[in-house]
Structure 1
Amino acid sequence: MAAKITVHWLEDSRAQRILWLLEELGLDYEVKRYSRDPKTLLAPKELADVHPLGKSPVVTIVEDGKTLTLAESGAIVEFIVERYGSNLSIPASSSDMQARADYLYWLHWAEGSGMLPLMFSIVFAQLPKQGPWLAKPLLNGVSYGAMSQFVLPRLKENFRFIEQSLAGKDYFAGGKLTGADIMMSFIAEGLESSPLPNDKYPNIFRWYNSMLERTAYKKALEKGGKNDLGRFTR
């Protein structure tokens, strides 16, 4: 019996890449949509009914009468690829040790080293907006100092590293599309909406634009929607 997959999709979130993954694998799925609070930009309380942390993406999978609820982008991608679509992985049995290592590295780098400075850029952009009115001058100063001295240098370091890693390559691992590319797509979206000059990263955008042209990516956009990550930093 085929698995019944439901993606709990939150606007402007990492959930969109899960839809892309499922489209690449040709799997049937349902999308349950959630909207952010327009003031705080936080996820709605209803998501906490699905998973205790109340964040997205979350998937529920019903298979052979058993229901699994799984959160965290990396865990979702790794689980679904291993269970339903090994063609998007570099398996442990691969004779290409470097390809296997690259696959695991970028699959996990995206949510580890990659997301940290992007999250800090959102936190410090929102700090003056969400804080008390009387404290805004102080919070603006704190935000500016943190961004200029800590966040922007880390962002530049990260994207310089990705740019160098993609030199002469069409994919992150093994010369083919894998879950690593799907995980890294959100990092490229973060660069697109960051204060960094995009024209300094031609390799990243060459790769990213080729992902945008994939049929599965376009189908996923139709079922979910394009992320507007700039709303967190504007």
Structure 2
Amino acid sequence: MTFETGISDIAFGVVDLTPGDNAAAAFSYTFSDSRYEVSVWGPGGKQAIDDTSSGLKPVNHALAEGPSYAAVHTSGRPGEFSLEGAAFSNLDEDGRVSVSAMQAYTFTLSANSVLTLSGNFYQRVSEAQLPGYFQSGVNRVELSFTSPDLPIYGGYYSSLVLNRESDLHVDRDLWLAYANTSNQAVTIDVTFSVENYSIIYSDLPIAAVPEPSTWAMLAAGMLTVGAIARRRHRHA
């Protein structure tokens, strides 16, 4: 099972809802929190990275066990990061990999203004060529807007869950807006969150379905065994 996810080309803007009031629309923001987690479970146990201190600095975290791996990369720009990983049969029983990333910002938006966010995101979850293994993968992207000053929640959520399909993917542009229609500036918390994990169950082999020719050979063999058994019964 393989996966990849990314958010890129993030841009913030502002729209003035009352252009005739001589008060310019504006916004400002500060970084408030981040977390990057990478894990690989294999025969040697669990390897893990839990980074809560990098902030907006570029991040390149990766873990691997054989061909299986998980990685997260950030550019240092707000809301932009990429994640990737793969879980293969070398991880043995209940092998899995996971990676997640989160960044949070606090915005101040002027009265009678709209905060806009645009960008691009992609998601992909693909089944690996592992005959005899059950594979499962989950890929989530969430962008959220919340405010202690306004009783409105906004955002975008996309989730891919692969169980039986061979491949799922999304690649699209996004545009979000959060309006402050009050006559005073408000605070808005904006959070970017991505989560991926892949699991393989090597202890649950999928029984192969015999080909028609195999069924014919099995049937002929059963008839032969039955004939021999009847012969022996008559001679007894």
Give the structure-1-normalised TM-score: 0.26
- Name the one with the larger helix percent: 1
Give the structure-2-normalised TM-score: 0.26
Is the radius of gyration larger for structure 1 or structure 2? 2
- Name the one with the larger strand percent: 2
